[in-house]
Structure 1
Amino acid sequence: MPQETAVGLSFDGRPHTVLMATPEHLEELALGFVVTEAIARAEDVREIISKEEEQGILVDVRLAPGALARKARPRNLEGRSSCGLCGVQRLADAVRPLPVLGEGVRIRHEAIPRALAALEEQQALGRLTRATHAAAFFDNEGALLVVREDVGRHNALDKLAGAMARAGTDPATGFVVVTSRCSFEMVEKTARMGCPILVAVSAPTELAIAKAQEANITLVALARADGHAVFAGGERLLESELEPA
């Protein structure tokens, strides 16, 4: 059975939210949350401290002075593993304007099934439990660079964002694949990571497509070994090279 634990996230000792998450890579989860929620830049994080409690795990993010200029949207409810916006108090905080990404990388269509095959091999927790999601980053050829898993699809993507920020990986040089449905929050997090291409194995929502267009993100969904559908930003996808005569 997969583990699901209450993870209390705070900034400089001030409680912010409680996430229901798989208790692995929690410092990456916290760092990714900082980035994808537009709380601060990754380089503004000075220290992340984790502490186990009887009820769960407390993770405190220590930020550099002045880093809270971009205020975290307030929450009054725990973030459940199925929800990326639980507890957000105002409509204006739920659907916020997104940054517009530059041209970024371009990939060939065949890089997508190559990536899916590689991800299937590396989903250790998913194969064991059949109850977790994965988020992974690939280079422009479809080679897997990093993967993270969690019971929550948003947590998996935040863990990926945190891992990439720690490693100094440029999100504009490749593409993200998620094994979940593509709600608009997944597009939002990908945009704030700075990655121009998002691939999902399930269908997108109408709002996800609209937000992808707003952020200049290439959105590919219903991705399978035998094909995929392009919902936004198709200009970044190149046709296969012609075989020599």
Structure 2
Amino acid sequence: MTEASTDVQTEALLRTRPVGAPADEEVAVELPVALTVNGISQAVMLATPADLEDFALGFALAEGWISHPGELLDIDTEARANGMELALTVTAAREQGLKLRRRQLAGRTGCGLCGLESLADFASLQPRHVQAGEVTRDALARAMAALARAQVLNARCGGLHGAGWCDADGTLRLAREDIGRHNALDKLIGARARGGVEAQVGTQGGFVVMSSRASHELVHKTAMAGVGLLACVSAPSSLAIQTAQSVGLQLWAFVRENRATRYA
């Protein structure tokens, strides 16, 4: 069953244009979300403040801060003067590992590898090898159409990306939204893990569908989650294709208007 935001949550994530504007329009909320691990600052992302516990878990898994959900002991969400803070508590072993490979990230709604100090650091960020079963173009089209219907916030204000988890036949099972495409995928990864779906489960059948272009970070995060197929509505980048090929991930793009192209 596809999960949707409640009316209360939806209202909290939208703002109305100032009084006196020619028409009433709603605008998605974007604010800094700081993530700390055992009291140590690790990242600041610009995100839509919905499903933040999903975001925290998904981000931690995708970044390699933890290897499975059981290593994340607690998530404390606190409002700050200029945004939100997600205080993660992890096991002592994971805390020690983070101290050895600490990364400082300055998040954006665009793309990037902020916080890496060298090209060697980038080269070391290789996700595990994945695999996927075959899917039909009809299944991809069905999944993309279902994702569009599931984006309740985007339907009201525009500007938000969606990430969905689908069965092999294109049935949408779970969806998340955010103003940043990579944040939406982190939320989806976290939601799957929080629901008891281990990262390794479903690699032979299920797949991720995205309402965005296919960028390197989406391929990387999908592979880190153990998922073997990513389908996007828009174009891929050269690095996304290269990364997908290197880890065995099926990469589909331009999934729209009765077409779909496989790039890896």
Task: Report the Cα offset of residue 69 of structure 1.
Answer: 5.9
Which residue does 2:113 correspond to in 1? Answer: 85
Task: Report the Cα offset of residue 50 of structure 1.
Answer: 0.7
Task: Report the Cα offset of residue 39 of structure 1.
Answer: 1.4
- TM-score of the aligned structures, taking structure 2 as reference length: 0.83
Within the alignment, does 1:224 sit opposite 2:256 as a pair? Answer: yes
Cα RMSD between the aligned structures?
A: 1.5
Map 1:174-185 onto structure 2 (within 5 A). Answer: 174-185=206-217
Which amino acid in the other structure matches residue 175 of structure 2?
A: V
Within the alignment, does 1:53 sit opposite 2:53 as a pair? Answer: no
What SS is found at the alignment partner of 1:66? helix
What SS is found at the alignment partner of 1:127? helix
Q: Which runs of 5+ in 2 are unaligned?
A: 1-26
Contact 2:43 2:107 (8 Å CA) reproduced: yes
Contact 1:79 1:87 (8 Å CA) reproduced: no
Which residue does 1:99 correspond to in 2? Answer: 128
Alpha-carbon distance in structure 2 between the residues aligned to 1:180 and 1:168: 27
Which residue does 1:11 correspond to in 2? Answer: 37
Map 1:166-181 onto structure 2 (within 5 A). Answer: 166-169=194-197, 170-172=201-203, 173-181=205-213
Task: Report the Cα offset of residue 73 of structure 1.
Answer: 4.9
What SS is found at the alignment partner of 1:31? helix
Which amino acid in the other structure matches residue 99 of structure 1?
A: R
Contact 2:132 2:249 (8 Å CA) reproduced: no
Which residue does 2:65 correspond to in 1? Answer: 39
Within the alignment, does 1:190 sit opposite 2:222 as a pair? Answer: yes
Alpha-carbon distance in structure 1 between the residues aligned to 2:76 and 2:170: 34
- Give the one of 19, 24, 27 matched to 2:53: 27
- The runs of at least 4 aligned residues of structure 1 exceeding 6 Å deviation read none
Task: Report the Cα offset of residue 135 of structure 1.
Answer: 0.6
Q: Which runs of 5+ in 1 are unaligned?
A: 233-245
Contact 1:28 1:159 (8 Å CA) reproduced: yes
Number of positions where the alignment pairs a residue of Structure 1 with one of Structure 2: 230
Q: CA 1:137/1:70 → structure 2, altered by over 3 Å: closer, same or farther?
A: farther
Alpha-carbon distance in structure 2 between the residues aligned to 1:69 and 1:198: 33
Alpha-carbon distance in structure 1 between the residues aligned to 2:89 and 2:73: 6
Map 1:158-169 onto structure 2 (within 5 A). Answer: 158-169=186-197
- TM-score of the aligned structures, taking structure 1 as reference length: 0.89
